[in-house]
Amino acid sequence: MALVLAAFVLVALSIVWRRTLGIGQSERLATLDGKRNELEGERARLESEIRDASSRQRLGVVAESQLGMHVPSDRQVVILPRAGRRESP
């Protein structure tokens, strides 16, 4: 009878331990999930900022006012045909 009781306690403890471990892992998963979403949101924000910072609206003004650059005239643009590569219109 004592052995049966001990076995029951062991089984019960292992179930509780497994459940506790599961809950811990679950919390960790939830944390990591949140972290992943956070990083993806951050990536989207940074990419958006890169796009804005490298846009013509932003760079064009700086290039013209601070670096003295200008859009070349059509005569200054030389088109070199490259075999095997076509830009899709």
Enumerate binding residues for other proteins (CB under 8 A).
22-23, 26-27, 29-30, 34-35, 37-38, 40-42, 44-45, 47-48, 51-52, 55-57, 60, 71-77, 79, 81-82, 86-89
Q: Which is nearer to other proteins, 7 or 45 (CB)?
A: 45
Shortest Cβ 54–other proteins spacing (Å): 10
CA atoms within 13 A on the CB side of 20: 6
> How far is the C-alpha of 33 from the C-alpha of 22, rounded, in Å?
16
Tokens at residue 53, please? 């910072």
Tokens at residue 12, please? 């019960």
Q: Which is nearer to other proteins, 3 or 84 (CB)?
A: 84
Shortest Cβ 2–other proteins spacing (Å): 29
DSSP character string of 48-62: HHHHHHTSHHHHHHH
